[in-house]
Amino acid sequence: MMNLKCLSKLLILLLFSGFSHANIQQIEPQVLLKLTQNQQAPFILDVRSQEEFQQGHIKGAINIPYDQIANNSALLTDYKNKPIVVYCRSGRRASVAEHILLEKGFMQLVDLKGHINLWQQRKYPLVGY
């Protein structure tokens, strides 16, 4: 049986598996769930509207709506060289936000596969509602 330290290392490695699209990695929802449960989660950015965020979001996520990313990217400066998991409802807004962040020099962006739609479909926990 894997101990917690080995599991954590494996999960971190899985965080960076998947596909790469111009420095954007992808993470499976079940991997992010395990990381949040073990308090090993990377920075999580929810780019949906404030109303959507308040209706329910992934534990530990902060909310900056995608159309406010360009003006608020300074809030993320401490994470410029660290993994940032980005999600929205289905992927469109996250893609816009990720490309803005890439242009601003953020190097470790991670797209949540299936976004909140898949997270909810799998009945993973949400907070804030």
Q: Whole-angstrom Cα distance, residue 74 to residue 76? A: 5
Q: Whole-angstrom Cα distance, residue 81 to residue 88? A: 22
Assigned token pair, 35: 């990381």
Residue of 35, 88, 109, 112 marked catalytic: 88
What are the CB-based long-range contacts (under 8 Å, 24+) for 61-67?
Answer: 61/87, 64/97, 65/93, 66/93, 66/94, 66/96, 66/97
Q: Distance from CA of residue 24 to its chain's centroid? A: 11
88 is a catalytic site residue: yes
So which residues are the catalytic ones?
A: 88
